[in-house]
Structure 1
Amino acid sequence: MKKVLLIILCIILLLVSCTNESNVDSISNEDKEIAIAIWEKDYYDGHIDDMPYFHDVCKYDDIKDIKVKFDIIKGDTYEEFLDNINVKLYLDKGPTLIYISYKPYYYQMFKEKGIAKKVDHNMIPNINNIYDFYLEEEIYFVPIGAYYICTSFNKAQIEKLDIEIPGFNLTINEYYDIRKKWVEYNAPIEISWSDVEDIVRIRLDNINIFSEDYKAINIDTKIMRESIKTMKKEIYSGKYILPNDFTYEDYYKACFDFSHQERSKYEEFRTKGMTAYYLTFSADNGLKTSSMKSGVIDNRVIFPNVEHPKYNVDLGGFIVNKNGKNKELGYKFLNRLLEEEFQMKMYEGQYMYAPVIKTVEDDIEKIESKQGLEPEIMELKNYIYDKMEKGEIQPRLYTNDRTLKTFNLRRKLYKDLFKFIFTEEEYSVEELSRKLKELEDRYSVYLNE
């Protein structure tokens, strides 16, 4: 009788071990495939853009049998991408993983609709190694790399202005004070698309147009009316050389309609400001010292981002599709992406992302000490990490202001206000208020659809 009970117990233990979801050995070799859904704009030459070393992870012995298939989702816009991917996400055995790029305006929608599967360290053990400030309390998104856009001034231009270089606490108002002095010093300058970005978009992005619960939008406000007046006054101040034949429609096409038949005319407008005398440069990833070596700061003065001081960390990573096939293989694959070896490839390579795990800190510090990096670079990196630890700088991914609807509304506002800013027609306070109220009503309907 004891022998019979022992045999029964062994059979039960064997069955339990074979049915455990984490046991991938029971999957036949031909079924060991994961599919990664990815927008065509994030896919380049057979790999994920900005992660060209991605396939290296497949060389590990324990997962080299996993076949990685990319499901390329077509779409010229976010909306087209979402329409095309939605067809696949509710199918049984759909894509295993969905790649979320550093402009993740659709992550919140995937989460709210129940597409993103909640994961934890039991499924993906290396999640424990990720910095806490890159994760939500409940994890539906697995970050693989991080990017922080700095503000970068042309050092030669700053020195000409004979001003005291501000510290890392540079504010948006101080930025505009410096820009104003630079314009006055070089005036008149030929206005370009980059000037329009500075004068219009950055100012608009720093005006809070949403209610706290993001269910209402407020455009017909005193600060908006005064900002429109300020922007228009700046453009027509005489400090800029304006194209003689440009109308409001031409400015609009130059900034938004890249497919216009007279594109060469507008390309000149877009590239005109990119010369040696220009005030700002595109900046590097402040989290990644390896991208700021080789004399990068010789001609730059780099600061933390002034456009979005709090929410300006971009993350690249994946969500696990709740209806995806071979999810257990997906967990194993993501776990490998969070291994120290792969994360160090991101640091050492000339790519966009910085590592997201804290267990490579010592290795990075050893490399930094050998490279003899400029003190300013190290100070900037430490400043940003300290702010993230304190919650004063946070990922944009998890905020309500980074949904597709809020993104579209800010883009619509940017476009719609061009008429008031670039037209030579003068609007009274009452007329402008009425026009803004019309936009506000139209946007409110869209926001609550």
Structure 2
Amino acid sequence: MSDLHSQTVAYTRDTMLPPAPPPVRERGAIKWLRENLFSGPFNIALTLITLWLLWLALSEVLPWMWRGIWDAGSVTECRARPGCALRAGGAGRLLGRHPGSLAPARLRLLPRRRTVAPAAGACGLPHRHHAGPLHRPASAPAGVHGRRPLPDRLADLGGAIWGPAMVALGFVLGWAVWRLLLPRSNPGLAFTGGVLAALLWWLFLTGPVAGMLARLIPIALNPVPSDRIGGFTLSLLIGLSGITLSLPLGILLALARRSDLWIVSKAAVIYIEVIRGVPLIVWLLVAQILLNYFLPSRWSIDILVRVIVMVTLFAAAYIAEVIRGGLAAIPRGQFEAADSLGLGYWETMRLIVLPQALTISIPGIVNSFIGLLKDTTLVSIISLFDPKRMTDTIRATTEWGGIYWELYIFVGTVFFVFCFAMSRYSIWLEQRLERSHR
């Protein structure tokens, strides 16, 4: 009986059931809402209060944005529009039609109207602060139907671009010479060769080659004086230049401060402490006023160049301390392992120590960069037209007097977008370079 039963009844399953999705309450948005917003009475109360506050805010902000008038020429014109409140006008004055927009120079390759530029720019502001001359005088020769031949238009573009291009090519040449000499000599000699190659190129070949290319291919850009650059163009120019130049300088300062050579270490310490001990606004005043007293009388350095140099030197001191903290976090065994492999100082730093130290220092470095970008608004103290000064200039006009919220909210929003993007990029970079889980 038992033998027959064992042959007719299966006790184990020979096939698996198909996979089924989890219950609706345990997946997707519903699960997230249950766990984060409605997990208990206290969280439910906080969620309802937050939703109520958001509704109060959006019920005021969304109609203000939806009814916003972006093409009014003054507050009076805005008030004359049906359904327009005072707060609904003027928010678009900082979107790019005012002086100092995000177009400091434009290629004038297209036909231009034969009109003289007006005496005032958008919003009634003086035209002298515009990013560059966008019209040619009516007396200038023109071709058929107001067009000029393409070679003439190319030759009438203002300042040449070949000079800066040849200067940038000097950096590329120095890097190529350094890479070529590095396998055949010690790193110090390779670095010296790269620097000498770049200097020889800049001193003897940059001018002739740029002049020859300017005659062969006369492509150029509108020259833009420093007093005509303003708004977010100025902030981005100073901020990006300072970020790009201060990072390598900060690395060198951090290495110099940890150097075994007494004079190199003390010089780096003195520089870092002096720079960090004085506010940036004081260094900007030094760049504007006092720097000319220490330069030869025949030298005339543009104020924007002086500001970029001073901001770079200021940011490099802070970045050096951040990187020094990353270097201090590297275990001593890393240096000993490099010594056992026969690596020199620069090879150890370049291949082993600095990659790890920079990865550790990413949050501090990005924090310094964000502070540097926001501190570019301090240049208004030396009469440069940063977004804050542009906002005050627009408010001072008779057309837009009395406008406050729109201008400052717009400036703050743009800065927040840039800073938040930098912050998110640093988080992504940290996760990409993380090696502890591998």
TM-score interval, normalised by the smaller of the two chains: under 0.3
**Which structure is higher in strand share?**
1
TM-score by length of 1: 0.24
TM-score by length of 2: 0.24
**Which structure is higher in helix share?**
2
Which one scores higher on RCO, CA 8 angstroms, separation ≥ 6?
1
